């Protein structure tokens, strides 16, 4: 009926009316003294059943509940059955739900009370009992219906909560899965680029950013070929890409070249994965690439090292073969010199022997230097003081510098520092650079040479700077073996210098103009070993 | 050179397969007062070192046939502890100064060798070796 509450509807359903209410009031007058007994029996019955009993927390609670039950029975027979009554019943139901009383016990417990009350009705009202029984049955079933409704409400609420939780779980599982995939793509040390059917970039991972130097937002949406492929004069690249985008190429491994943001080319080994069943605007081609440039460079260096080692072996053999005849020549020359002296010294002949002796010495020196270059002894790394190294090298060149009016000075940092190096070899490097600088400056009639050392976060920087005339050809490959512009040089000095520096993991460079030539040696400061040094 | 001629001359064994040059060096050393013998390979050197009188000093190439300079040097030190050993070689990298025990470290000369330097090193080594032998045989040793 329109405007009817649920409680009114229930009452109408069981035909509970005012007459029933009056009957119940009459019933209560007789039955009320027996309510405590019924409550006691009621709870004693519950004690027999584990699941029902489990909801109790202790005797005090049972006593309280017994009192509540007495009040409830009085209320049920109270004669007033309005919305407030309905709300109270709902509350009682909600308490049962909250304490977790199983529904079956509520139904059967109601049977206990029903039987007890009907017996009282029969006993007290005799022939008038039937309408009284009907009234009791109606109100008790209404009670039951209302309380069951609270169970239903709670059940629906619980289902909803479970569903909500399940949705949440599902959502977070999806989020977790996605997070994993994103991490896998982002943290992978391979280039991962995804292209749509038109060849535009839709996915560009961190390694791709690192290798190419492009930021993601610079390239997303741009055609891959335009963004980072090198020139494609015969169109072969774009044809191959078209085939791959159309799924016409087999899953394949192919070598390619990437153009970086700075315009450099990187060799990349691509593994193409075609995902053709995607939607038009989704990724159809995953290109997974490994940057081979470093590997290639390493292979190249390994080949160089092998070549050098082979040359070194050859050089050592050659050195022996050269040194032996030189030894013979030298010794016979000493013999000749002695013989000439015995005949009271023919000066011309003595002079000639000296020239030959000088030439032999020079050849021997060349052999030694060439061996140093081609087959260097392994580095003997020791803690080296920067100050001592520089001072020592400077002191070794001072005599030579004084002779040609060149001032050699050190410009050192405020505090000394120690680093791992082969001290003898680094001294050779600095001496070599200082001698070159002194000779260059001295040839111009004097000047000054500065040995400057500075420390960087992970490097030592040592400059040898002179104010001489500068290199005649600054672009010439002066660090190559046998590239020498120096009178009487072997052509190996700077090559050995370069080799020693690179063997230390460092680098050497030169910049030169008239009045300022700087050789810059950069040496790595190794990580400090564990513990105090 | 006069002082060396006063006493019995030092016997020096030269080991090298370059006989022409080695003979010339022997000539010059003899002029300078040494008694010199030559062995052209490791086997001959070991054979000579086994006979008396054991040479006072050994001057050897490092790469010699049958037994190399290191082996000859060790054998020599075995025969006469403390014997001066001079190594001449075109392969200085093959040599370690502490290769021989039982005496002062061997001196290394990279070829080409300057004769004057070799002669004075040889003389110094012999004299200090003689001095230490005299100390050993002296009863006043402490």
Q: What is the mean pLDDT of residues A399-413?
A: 91
3-class state of residue A249 by DSSP? coil
At A406, which helix (H) or strand (E)?
strand A406-411
Rounded mean pLDDT, A201-226:
90
Q: What is the CATH number of domain A382-524?
A: 3.30.565.10
Average pLDDT, integer, range A400-419: 90
A432 or A362: whose pLDDT is higher?
Answer: A432
Tally of domains in chain B = 1
Arithmetic mean of pLDDT, A319-327: 86
- Eight-class DSSP state of B52: S
Measured in angstroms, the CA of A338 and the nearest CA of chain B are apart by 9
> Which residues lie closer than 8 Å to A388 by C-beta, 6 or more apart?
none
Report the distance separating Cα A1 and Cα A384, nearest Å. Answer: 103
Euclidean distance between CA atoms A299 and A110, whole angstroms: 90
Is the CB of A368 inside 8 Å of chain B's CB atoms? yes
pLDDT at B124: 94
Report domain extents, chain A. Answer: 6-161, 188-291, 297-374, 382-524
Residue A531, pLDDT score: 36
Question: What percentage of chain A carries pLDDT values higher than 90?
Answer: 30
Do B25 and A323 lie within an 8 Å CB cutoff? no
Q: In the structure encoding, which two tokens stand for residue A70, read together?
A: 């007495």
Q: Which residues in chain A are contacts of B88 at CB distance < 8 A?
A: 327
The CA-to-CA distance between both ends of chain A, in Å, stands at 95
pLDDT for residue B95: 80
Nearest to A456 by CA among A429, A408, A419: A419
Q: Hey, is the C-beta of A383 within 8 angstroms of any chain B C-beta?
A: no
Q: What is A188-291's CATH topology?
A: Beta-Lactamase (3.30.450)
Spatial neighbors of A445 by CB under 8 A, at least 6 apart, are A405
Q: How far is CA A412 from CA A227, A391, A409, A418, in A?
A: 48, 10, 10, 13
**pLDDT band for position A533 (cuts 50, 70, 90):** very low
pLDDT of amino acid B142:
43
Instruction: Check whether A345 has a pLDDT greater than 80.
Output: no
Chain B residues in contact with A354 by the CB 8 A cut-off are none
Architecture of domain A6-161: Orthogonal Bundle (1.10)
Is residue A288 predicted with pLDDT exceeding 80?
yes
In this predicted structure, which of A46-55, A291-300, A305-314 has the lowest mean pLDDT? A46-55
Q: Does A324 touch chain B (CB under 8 A)?
A: yes
Nearest CA in chain B to A376: B93
What is the DSSP secondary-structure string of A475-527?
A: TS-TTSTT---STT--S-HHHHHHHHHHHTT-EEEEEEETTEEEEEEEEE-PP
Contact A360 B90 (CB under 8 A): no
Q: Do A327 and B18 touch (CB under 8 A)?
A: yes
Average pLDDT over residues A83-109: 84
Q: What backbone torsions phi and psi does residue A14 show, to the nearest 5 degrees?
A: -90, 5
Supply the pLDDT for residue B93.
Answer: 75
Rounded to an integer, the average pLDDT of A460-483 is 83
**Can you give the pLDDT of all 142 residues of chain B as single tens digits?**
444 445 789 999 999 998 989 999 999 999 999 999 999 999 999 999 999 899 999 999 998 988 999 999 999 999 998 899 999 988 887 787 777 777 788 889 999 999 999 999 999 999 998 888 888 776 554 4
CB contacts of A376 in chain B (<8 Å) are none
Distance from CA of B69 to the nearest CA of A (A): 15
State whether residue A377 sits within 8 Å of chain B by CB: yes
* Inter-chain residue contact A368 with B110, CB threshold 8 Å: yes
The answer to whether residue B142 is domain-embedded is no
Residues of chain B in contact with residue A313, where contact means CB-CB under 8 angstroms, are: none
Question: Quick check: A297 pLDDT over 90?
Answer: no
Predicted TM-score (pTM) of the model is 0.47
B113: closest CA of chain A, how far (Å): 6
CATH number at residue B95: 3.40.50.2300
Instruction: Convert A89-111 to b/e letters by CB count within 10 Å (16 or more is b).
Output: bbebbeebbeeebeeebbeebee
Top-ranked range on mean pLDDT: pick from A165-169, A253-257, A296-300, B126-130: B126-130
ipTM confidence: 0.80
C-alpha closest to that of A78 among A143, A146, A128, A124: A143
Query: Which domain covers residue B74, as residue numbers?
Result: 2-137
Angle at A93 between CA A89 and CA A98, to 5 degrees: 145
E strand map for A80-141 = none
For residue A328, the chain B residue with the least C-alpha distance is B21
Q: Chain A interface, mutation test: which of B21, B32, B69, B112, most A Cβ atoms within 10 Å?
A: B112
Residue of B nearest to A362 (CA): B112
pLDDT band at A250; cut points 50, 70, 90: low
- Look up residue B92 and give its two tokens: 């200085």
**A338·B28 Cβ contact <8 A:** yes
State mean pLDDT over A210-238. Answer: 85
Report the DSSP pairing between strands A516-524 and B35-39: unpaired
Would residue B18 count as lying in a domain? yes
């Amino acid at each position: 009926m329109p405007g009817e509450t649920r409680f009114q509807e229930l009452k109408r359903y069981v035909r509970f009316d005012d007459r029933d209410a009056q009957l119940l009031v009459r019933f209560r007058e007789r039955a009320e003294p027996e309510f405590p007994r019924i409550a006691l029996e009621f709870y004693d019955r519950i004690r027999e059943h584990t699941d029902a009993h489990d909801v109790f927390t202790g005797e005090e609670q049972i006593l309280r509940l017994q009192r509540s039950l007495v009040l409830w029975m009085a209320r049920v027979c109270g004669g007033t059955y309005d919305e407030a009554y309905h709300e109270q019943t709902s509350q009682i139901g909600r308490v049962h739900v909250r304490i977790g009383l199983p529904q079956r016990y509520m139904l059967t417990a109601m049977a206990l009370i029903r039987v007890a009350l009907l017996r009282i009705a029969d006993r007290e009202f005799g022939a008038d009992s039937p309408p009284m029984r009907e009234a009791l049955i109606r109100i008790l079933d209404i009670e039951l219906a209302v309380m069951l409704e609270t169970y239903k409400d709670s059940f629906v609420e619980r289902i909803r909560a479970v569903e909500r939780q399940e949705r949440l779980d599902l959502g977070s599982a999806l989020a977790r899965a996605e997070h994993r995939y994103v991490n896998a793509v982002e943290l992978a040390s391979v280039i991962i680029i995804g292209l749509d059917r038109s060849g535009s970039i839709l996915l560009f991972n961190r390694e791709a950013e690192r290798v190419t130097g492009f930021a993601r937002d610079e390239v997303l949406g741009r055609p891959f070929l335009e963004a980072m492929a090198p020139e494609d004069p015969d169109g072969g690249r774009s044809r191959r890409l078209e085939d791959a985008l159309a799924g016409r190429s087999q899953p394949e491994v192919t070598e390619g070249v990437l153009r970086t943001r700075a315009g450099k080319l990187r060799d990349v080994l691509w593994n193409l994965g075609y995902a053709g069943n995607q939607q038009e605007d989704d990724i159809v081609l995953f290109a997974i690439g490994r940057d081979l440039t470093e590997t290639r460079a390493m292979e190249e260096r390994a080949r160089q090292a092998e070549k050098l080692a082979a040359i070194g072996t050859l050089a050592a053999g050659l050195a022996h073969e050269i040194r032996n005849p030189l030894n013979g020549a030298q010794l016979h020359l000493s013999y000749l010199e002695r013989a000439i002296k015995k005949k009271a010294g023919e000066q011309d002949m003595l002079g000639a022997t000296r020239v030959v002796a000088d030439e032999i010495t020079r050849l021997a020196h060349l052999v030694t230097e060439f061996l140093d270059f081609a087959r260097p002894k392994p580095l003997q790394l020791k803690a080296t003081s920067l100050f001592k190294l520089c001072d020592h090298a400077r002191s070794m060149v001072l005599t030579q510098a004084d002779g040609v009016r060149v001032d050699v000075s050190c410009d050192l940092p405020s505090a000394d520092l120690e680093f791992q190096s082969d001290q003898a070899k680094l001294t050779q490097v600095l001496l070599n650079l200082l001698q070159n600088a002194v000779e260059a400056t001295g040839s111009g009639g004097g000047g000054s040479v500065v040995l400057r050392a500075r420390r960087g976060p992970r490097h030592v920087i040592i400059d040898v700077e002179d104010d001489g005339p500068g290199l005649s050809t600054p672009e010439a490959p002066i660090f190559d073996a046998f590239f020498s512009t120096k009178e009487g040089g072997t052509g190996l000095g700077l090559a050995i210098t370069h080799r020693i520096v690179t063997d230390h993991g460092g680098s050497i460079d030169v910049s030169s103009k008239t009045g300022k030539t700087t050789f810059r040696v950069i040496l790595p400061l190794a990580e400090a070993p564990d513990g105090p040094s | 050179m006069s002082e060396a001629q006063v006493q019995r001359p030092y016997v020096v064994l030269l080991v090298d397969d370059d006989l022409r040059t080695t003979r010339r060096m022997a000539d010059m050393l003899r002029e300078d007062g040494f008694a010199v013998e030559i062995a052209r390979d490791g086997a001959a050197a070991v054979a000579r070192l086994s006979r008396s009188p054991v040479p006072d000093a050994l001057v050897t190439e490092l790469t010699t046939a049958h037994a190399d300079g290191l082996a000859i040097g060790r054998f020599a030190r075995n025969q006469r502890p403390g014997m001066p050993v001079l190594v001449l070689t075109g392969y200085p990298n093959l040599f370690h100064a502490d290769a021989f025990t039982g005496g002062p470290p061997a001196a290394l000369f990279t070829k080409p060798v300057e004769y004057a330097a070799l002669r004075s090193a040889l003389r110094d080594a012999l004299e200090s070796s003689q001095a230490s032998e005299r100390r050993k045989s002296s009863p006043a040793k402490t």
